[in-house]
């Protein structure tokens, strides 16, 4: 089959492209390269367009045929989102609205959407299922929820199917280390810890050790990007048989504290990671753990790379070979 992958030059999007190619599918990558990388496009046709620009989007995609869309293109920095609400709403929500308009005009009626646990906000239960209240605590989460709502509205009013995949903490890299995570700035725990281990970018700061958890640091559910990619492919298979809207959590169901992640990184790299404990980072809930039983049931999906050592080892293998990122988006 032939798929459109928006944001296909980004971290999670490029891993989905890789999985689709391995399965014998073809893709067109749509990306504005604001944060994506040309080295991540894997020889696929690239349409360089900004989703906010409806005429350009129409012109670039009119008359094409796709069996479905994987929609990743979005701004995704929590801190930045609170400072640049307008930019985030325009980019994420208006961009999605334009994409759906063009999809309907061209008769493409399936979308697998890259959503996030940030739609839930602060957890009110130990594990989070899809019925948990949706109360985002940052603009990023608000825009992702608005994008989901847009998709749901289109599903309810047109012949359209959408699966929204709410990831917990995406981590790791391709099994062959051919692609992986490369954000600028890098804000995520595992790559930051590994960079600190490599003496690159200064010491790691642990953001708070006074949380009400066993070791005082925040607990997160880390899900390997190859397992995420597998779920996306299964979600698109599901949409070949079903229309309508569904949202599914993707996580392993196991929580690891920041300190246990740092320990796992130290074991993988076989050296101490220089770190200090700093104040809490604003907007960090104590603990986020997925109940992903709905995705398992509906998609027949099972995460396979669930132990922390495997996830960190995969991220470390990538850190050894990754390209140096230049300032034009690389």
- Who contacts 198 (Cβ-Cβ below 8 Å, separation ≥6)? 269, 319
- Cβ nearer to ligand UDP, comparing 134 with 188: 188
Shortest Å, Cβ 44 to ligand UDP: 28
222: its two tokens: 């880390």
Least separation in angstroms between CB 305 and ligand UDP? 17
Q: Cβ of residue 144: shortest distance to ligand UDP, in angstroms?
A: 12
Nearer to ligand UDP, 99 or 258 (CB): 258
CA 277 to CA 221: how far, in whole Å? 21
Taking the C-alpha atoms of residue 170 and residue 152, their distance in angstroms, rounded to an integer, is 24
Secondary structure class of 219 (helix, strand, coil): strand
Whether 211 sits among the annotated catalytic residues: the reply is no
What residue ranges bind ligand UDP (CB under 6 A)?
Answer: 169, 187-189, 192, 204-207, 218, 220, 258, 281, 284
What's CA 177's distance to the chain center, in Å? 18
CB of 212 to ligand UDP, least distance (A): 13
Dihedral (CA of 321, 183, 16, 299) sign: positive
Give the whole-angstrom CA distance, residue 36 versus residue 149: 25
d(CA 312, CA 310): 6
Q: How far is the CB of 178 from ligand UDP (least distance, A)?
A: 23
The whole-angstrom distance between residue 180's C-alpha and the CA centroid of its chain comes to 12
**How many Cβ atoms sit within 10 Å of the Cβ of residue 322?**
17
The active-site residue, picked from 11, 88, 140, 167, is 140
Which residue reads 């929500």 in tokens?
A: 93
Positions marked active-site: 140
């Amino acid at each position: 089959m032939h798929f459109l992958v928006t944001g296909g030059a980004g971290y999670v999007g490029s891993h989905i492209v890789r999985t689709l190619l391995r399965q014998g599918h073809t893709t067109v990558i749509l990306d504005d390269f604001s944060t994506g990388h040309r080295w991540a496009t894997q020889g696929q046709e690239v349409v360089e367009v900004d989703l906010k620009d409806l005429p350009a989007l129409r012109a670039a995609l009119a008359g094409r045929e796709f069996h479905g869309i994987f929609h990743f293109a979005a701004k995704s920095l929590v801190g930045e989102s609170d400072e640049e609400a307008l930019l985030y709403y325009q980019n994420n929500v208006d961009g999605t609205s334009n994409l759906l308009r063009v999809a309907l005009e061209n008769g493409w009626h399936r979308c697998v959407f890259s959503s996030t646990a940030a739609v839930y906000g602060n957890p009110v239960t130990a594990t989070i299922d899809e019925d948990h209240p949706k109360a985002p605590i940052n603009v990023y989460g608000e825009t992702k929820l608005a994008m989901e709502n847009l998709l749901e509205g289109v599903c309810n009013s047109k012949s359209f199917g959408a699966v929204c995949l709410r990831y917990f903490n995406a981590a790791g890299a391709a099994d062959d280390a051919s692609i992986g995570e490369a954000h600028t700035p890098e804000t995520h725990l595992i790559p930051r810890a590994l960079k600190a281990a490599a003496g690159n970018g200064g010491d790691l700061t642990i953001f708070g050790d006074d949380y009400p958890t066993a070791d005082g640091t925040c607990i997160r559910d880390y899900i390997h990007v190859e397992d995420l990619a597998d779920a996306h492919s299964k979600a698109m298979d599901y949409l070949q048989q079903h229309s309508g809207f569904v949202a599914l959590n993707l996580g392993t169901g196991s929580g690891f504290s920041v300190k246990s992640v740092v320990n796992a990184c130290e074991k993988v790299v076989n050296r101490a990671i220089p770190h200090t404990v700093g104040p809490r980072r604003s907007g960090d809930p104590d603990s986020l753990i997925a109940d992903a039983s709905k995705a398992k049931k509906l998609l027949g999906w099972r995460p396979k790379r669930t132990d922390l050592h495997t996830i960190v080892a995969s991220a470390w293998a990538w850190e050894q070979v990754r390209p140096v990122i230049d300032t034009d988006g690389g």
